[in-house]
Amino acid sequence: MTRPWLKDAVFYEIYPQSFCDANGDGIGDIAGIIEKLDYIKSLGCNALWINPCFDSPFRDAGYDVRDYKKVAPRYGANEDLYRLFEVAHEKGIRVLLDLVPGHTSEEHEWFTRSGEAKPNAYSNRYIWTNHWWQGGNGLPYVGGERERDGTYILNFFKCQPALNYGFLNPTEPWQLPADHPDALATREAIKDVMRFWLGHGCDGFRVDMADSLVKRDDAQKSGTSAIWRDIRAMLDKEFPQAALVSEWSNPPLALRAGFDMDFCLNNWDTGYASLMRDYDQPVNNSYFKKDAPHRDIRRFLDVYEKWYADTAALGYISLISCNHDTTRPRFGLDARELKLAYAFLFTMPGVPFLYYGDEIGMRFLDVPTKEGGYTRTGSRTPMQWNGGKNLGFSTADAKDLYLPVDPAEDAPTVEAQANDPDSLLSFVKALMKLRHDREDLQADAPYAPLSEGPGEPFVYRRGRLVLAVNPTGQTLRAPAPVTGLRPIFALGEVNADGDALAMGPQAFVVMGE
Ligand code: GLC
């Protein structure tokens, strides 16, 4: 069961620290996002995912939540977020918040109570061993921090203790089964957080580390999946339009667990890295790199097509331009290469996500780590709006910015690209418009590969359309069922000749009636 509004959804991911600073304090805020909703709409994006914007000590950029129901003061107040939902809805834009169900900040009140020596209602909200010297039995743990005689299990950084959803098969006295009343209470507490924001108008959640709930789960993640199915049942009853997208990167499992969408992430096993980020060797061998010596789109398609065949009837695979954990695609690709890569990503099935700034080709910057970002920080720098102070991001002094803006003379900006018909931005807008105009390019229209051999362009079918991309610097030909079709969208030189396509260097085409 999926949400009908997802069929034509294109998401825009916003890192709230870095999008638009409306009050001039150097960091982005909710009011800034509201100001830019028309811009987002002009791109053709009709849904947002906002990274965590809740009260937090920001040791992991907000993925360490201190209060799930309170907007972090640096972004504004809860009323600002409610207003964002309202204004976005008036403009036909849906808003997903980021739900972090696997862990909290070590400063969350639940954790403070859980660490007290005297047992209380929160003692089992986190996973504690029974003695200060007892380890986590293979799970990461920390001791010596609280009064309670025990160590506790971590989900990610040291500042992120794991919430207790129980163990699939407990083997130690301190491990609760997943159906223990205290493990069920954790689940209810997260449902309560979801109800709170959905009740105030949000449209669903991106779910952080969605597969991390039940510990020592099996390969099928059956314990964790059962929890998500239970949560989906609650949503179906109370908020049937609410959408969930998982950070899982295993659509066969995630979509069966009840998620509407699952991200295809830049992990070693998805093949996705081979499209735009295959540069961990002396040469850039990414599929969309013009001079890649050994490109092969099968490295991606072999995984994708297996997932697609298994899940097309269940929900959506979400292809991304990038995200806040991933190196910006501009790191390895120039503007032309990005156009071809986006043309492919945004004409595939499922529900795609554009990461803020990728539409203008923002660079990955070499900046010191910020709030636990480490190598991810370079993808989290401020949005570049225009040629003014701080490239239009903020009126604060440059030294007070959350992160620096791109210092390059030719730093890409929205303003510079908006009136240039050949810019990446104009291309992205045209591409999104085409997707909205043609049902055959949207989430549900069937996909099939047509040709992809070495020395051939990649030719694929979406519904009644035939698409082809040639990322190389040479003219390539392939047989393609294009008799009676004409180019309805093209980049570069394309010639249809009977049942064949000749694609000039770095070209893309959509052939339709
Ligand atoms: C996810 C987030 C990442 C965060 C981690 C811990 O992977 O995308 O940014 O650091 O979870 O919450």
CA of 63 to the centre of ligand 1 (A): 6
Is 29 touching ligand 1 by the criterion CB < 6 Å? no
Q: Give residue-wise pLDDT tens across range 31-84.
A: 999 999 999 999 999 999 999 999 999 999 999 999 999 999 999 999 999 999
Q: Give residue-wise pLDDT tens across range 90-146.
A: 999 999 999 999 999 999 999 999 999 999 999 999 999 999 999 999 999 999 999
Question: Which residues have a Cβ under 8 Å from the Cβ of 361 and sit 6 or more positions away?
Answer: 330, 335, 338, 412, 424
Residue from 18, 51, 56, 63 whose mutation best tests the ligand 1 pocket (most atoms within 8 A of CB) = 63
Q: According to the model, what pLDDT value does residue 281 have?
A: 81
Let me know if residue 349 belongs to a domain.
yes
Let me know if residue 62 belongs to a domain.
yes
Q: According to the model, what pLDDT value does residue 282 have?
A: 86
Q: According to the model, what pLDDT value does residue 402 have?
A: 98
Is 63 touching ligand 1 by the criterion CB < 6 Å? yes
Atom number in ligand 1 closest to CA 325: 9
Q: What is the CATH number of the domain that holds 113?
A: 3.90.400.10
Count CB atoms within 10 A of the CB of residue 68.
22
325 and 385 in one domain? yes
pLDDT at residue 191 greater than cutoff 60: yes
Q: According to the model, what pLDDT value does residue 280 have?
A: 83
413 and 342 in one domain? yes
Let me know if residue 71 belongs to a domain.
yes
CA of 424 to the centre of ligand 1 (A): 29
145 and 74 in one domain? no
480 and 365 in one domain? no
495 and 397 in one domain? no
Alpha-helix runs per DSSP H in 294-382: 298-311, 335-345
Range of the domain at 108: 103-164
Q: Give residue-wise pLDDT tens across range 469-491.
A: 999 999 999 999 999 999 999 99
Is 156 touching ligand 1 by the criterion CB < 6 Å? yes
Atom number in ligand 1 closest to CA 157: 6
Write down the residue that tokens 């950084």 correspond to.
157
Q: Give residue-wise pLDDT tens across range 376-420.
A: 999 999 999 999 999 999 999 999 999 999 999 999 999 999 999
Q: According to the model, what pLDDT value does residue 1 have?
A: 53
Let me know if residue 195 belongs to a domain.
no
CA atoms in the 13 A half-sphere facing the CB of 56? 24
425 and 467 in one domain? no
Is 98 touching ligand 1 by the criterion CB < 6 Å? no
Q: According to the model, what pLDDT value does residue 2 have?
A: 64
270 and 378 in one domain? yes
Count CB atoms within 10 A of the CB of residue 281.
9
Write the residue with the smallest CA distance to atom 4 of ligand 1. Answer: 63
Residue 498: pLDDT band with limits 50, 70, 90: confident
Atom number in ligand 1 closest to CA 156: 6
Tell me which of 142, 164, 186 is where a domain ends: 164
321 and 379 in one domain? yes
Stretch 326-352: mean pLDDT:
98
Write the residue with the smallest CA distance to atom 12 of ligand 1. Answer: 63
Let me know if residue 43 belongs to a domain.
yes
Please state, in angstroms and rounded to a whole number, the distance separating the CA atoms of residues 230 and 191.
10
Let me know if residue 472 belongs to a domain.
yes
Is 245 touching ligand 1 by the criterion CB < 6 Å? no
Q: What is the CATH number of the domain that holds 331?
A: 3.20.20.80
For the chain, the domain total comes to 3
Tell me which of 402, 437, 472 is where a domain ends: 437
75 and 108 in one domain? no
The whole-model pTM stands at 0.98
Is 139 touching ligand 1 by the criterion CB < 6 Å? no
Atom number in ligand 1 closest to CA 155: 6
Q: Which of 68, 58, 59 is nearest to 98 (CA)?
A: 68
Tell me which of 121, 138, 164 is where a domain ends: 164
Q: Give residue-wise pLDDT tens across range 266-275.
A: 998 999 999 9
113 and 69 in one domain? no
Is 43 touching ligand 1 by the criterion CB < 6 Å? no
Q: Give residue-wise pLDDT tens across range 264-318.
A: 999 989 999 999 999 988 899 999 999 999 999 999 999 999 999 999 999 999 9
62 and 139 in one domain? no
DSSP label at residue 362: P
Alpha-helix runs per DSSP H in 312-423: 335-345, 414-418
484 and 382 in one domain? no
